[in-house]
Structure 1
Amino acid sequence: MTEGMVGIFQEIVTLFAIVAVGYGAKKARFMNDEFDRMLSKLVINLALPGMILGSVLTAGALPTAAEIWLCLGISCASTLVMFAVAYGFTLLLRIPDGHRGVYRFMLCFGNVGFIGYPVLTAIFGPDALVYAAVFNLPFNFFVFTVGAWFLTQDTDGDVRVQTTWRTFVTPVMISCVAAVVLTLLGIHHAPILGDALSTLGSITTPAALLIIGSSLANLPVRDLVGGPRLWVCAVFRLLVMPAIIWAVFHSFIDGGLMFAVAIVLSGMPVATNGTMLCYQYGGNSRVMAQGTFVTTVLALASIPILATFVSAVI
């Protein structure tokens, strides 16, 4: 476990290093707001679909059909609980209009890939990753539909995106549906196509981190860490949300690795693609970048607490 936690620490430091590069690139004028928007569009429409499909087409093995359906069900149910909690949270804390969508996004969608996978490996070993891959299929669908809709309800300046159902019929949503279908059909090993898609998708994480750093460079240094509401949201995202997921479902689901994966993934820092989606759908990129930064910093302390909690209750 100790060696695993060291690995997690290294992953988070790596994340901060790339964010710092993006911050410096904006200050040095290698990046600007228009470049950030275009890079976000490239990643969302090309790299992310490649990453989603590649994760299925390069998988060495999949769970049984019964396990897949159960995992998908737990994933969808826990996400719906997080939606309800997020709405209650924003009302309770009186989050102002124009910021509610981004706070709801931060509470519902975590960094399940770049940080989530190493955390699961450190706590449970590599056997957890096959469940995580299936668990994240509904996550990817929800983040680019409901999550995007959350952000369209906010304003970044005076801009509010007008949406129809066509707004959400995007390459990434189509790839999510295709990934679920491929998984249910047991199609998971296509070496050349899978490797090509995974290579294309590999630009997603560094590009997202560069965009976060560039967005933070627009803020005065004193504003990087946000205000009290943001910190309350961060603690809720990292520690309270996993406890809620356990409390709601532990009476209905037998304790086991699959349920443990659901709890751990519900306590990850804010998803790095949130800032890119803000550029795409008009959400408040400033608050999103702050939330991503703060939750990732706090994850250095929250992940060991989360690991102890899961070990005690599962």
Structure 2
Amino acid sequence: METIVLFKNLVIFLIIILIAYIVRRTDNVSHNLQKDLSYLLTDVTTPCLVITSMAVEFTDEKIIQARDAFIVSNLIFIISFAAIFIFLKFYKIKEPNRSQMMVGGILTNLGFLGFPLIQAMFGADGLYVASIVNMVSNYFTYTLGLALIKRNSEKQGKLKARDFLNNTNIATIVGLIILFTGFKIPEIPYKVLVNVGDITGILSMIIIGLMLGEIKVRDIFKEKHAYVMSIYRLILFPLFLILLVKLSPIQINMFVEKICVILFAMPVATITGIFSTSYDVDPPFATKIVMMSTMFCIISLPIILFVYNII
């Protein structure tokens, strides 16, 4: 049943992406719209979504879920780094694309696709877990992920506190305070947060469609390395992860386990393309691996969830 629900939501997302793609390809909107909407998503709607997902009753189960999500996601990111490093020892590819594929093998599209999909499938309970995972993800993104891209760049730049204390992480901290203190958000502010947060899913799909509209689709399918990256990111690593969690002697919350499997079966993180563009590190290649994996996840995600449920 969950597999069918996942597939239906992915089809809905795909249709929205196609609408945005057509609008961009026909030049009915400008290139700047993508950048503006991306800001709105990451700095406004997603933080609202995170806060409302944590405005729930404080229970022992919530503590266990937060603990397990934090520990498990840290372990998975470390394993992701080791796994893609070993994989690329056998699959030869030159820099800077090697580093870009390493980032793609470590970071998944939690914000643009993971959040709206988890919300559609599991509601506020799922978003609560996803928010903890995303907080851990941001740490690895702005340390390991950024370092891998910058080592092939002539541009210089230092990490700032703001990179870690972005609005989504701040919202997670605020949400945890609300959860632990039992503070009840007044009705009007709560409804504002809910209404703003609810557009995150639609906004995410529109942005992905606009990004896709910036390039020729046939150019994506000409990039052979993008196929390898998609197979690794969407199939090989998720299957490996399923085996690990199923065989692991460590007892973790089953709901957390399922959310983590879905989140780490997501396509290559959009931030791979953003970092590559910011530091002039072969942006077209990064865009291709992000877009191809995003398109193929429509097929791969239901398969991964099905395999997880039957094992």
TM-score after normalising by structure 2? 0.77
Where do 5+ consecutive residues of structure 2 fail to align?
none
The equivalent residue for 1:216 is 212
CA distance in 2, matches of 1:139, 1:64: 14
Matched residue type, 1:73: I
* Aligned 1:274-285 pairs, distance under 5 A: none
Does the residue aligned with 2:135 lie in a helix, a strand or coil?
Answer: helix
The equivalent residue for 1:303 is 301
Contact 1:141 1:173 in 2 (8 A): yes
Tell me how far 1:152 sits from its aligned partner.
6.8
Does the residue aligned with 1:75 lie in a helix, a strand or coil?
Answer: helix
2:141 to 139, 147, 159: 147
The equivalent residue for 1:251 is 248
Tell me how far 1:196 sits from its aligned partner.
1.9
Does the residue aligned with 1:222 lie in a helix, a strand or coil?
Answer: helix
* Aligned 1:13-28 pairs, distance under 5 A: 13-28=11-26
Tell me how far 1:31 sits from its aligned partner.
2.6
Does the residue aligned with 1:115 lie in a helix, a strand or coil?
Answer: helix
* Aligned 1:94-173 pairs, distance under 5 A: 94-100=92-98, 102-107=100-105, 108-110=107-109, 111-116=113-118, 118=120, 121=121, 130=125, 132-149=126-143, 150-151=145-146, 153-154=148-149, 160=155, 162-168=157-163, 169-173=165-169
CA distance in 1, matches of 2:64, 2:40: 36
RMSD after superposition: 3.5
TM-aligned CA distance change 1:90 to 1:193, over 3 Å: farther
Q: Encode CA deviations 1:107-137: one digit per residue, 9 max, x unaligned.
A: 331433333455xx5xxxx5x973x334312
Where do 5+ consecutive residues of structure 1 fail to align?
none
CA distance in 2, matches of 1:139, 1:216: 27
Are 1:205 and 2:201 counterparts? yes
Question: Which moved further from structure 2: 171-180 or 90-99?
Answer: 90-99
CA distance in 2, matches of 1:205, 1:282: 29
Are 1:83 and 2:81 counterparts? yes
Matched residue type, 1:195: K
Q: Encode CA deviations 1:228-286: one digit per residue, 9 max, x unaligned.
A: 22122212222222233244443332374443443333223345676667677877664
Does the residue aligned with 1:41 lie in a helix, a strand or coil?
Answer: helix
Tell me how far 1:95 sits from its aligned partner.
4.3
CA distance in 2, matches of 1:277, 1:204: 22
Does the residue aligned with 2:115 lie in a helix, a strand or coil?
Answer: coil
TM-aligned CA distance change 1:7 to 1:225, over 3 Å: farther
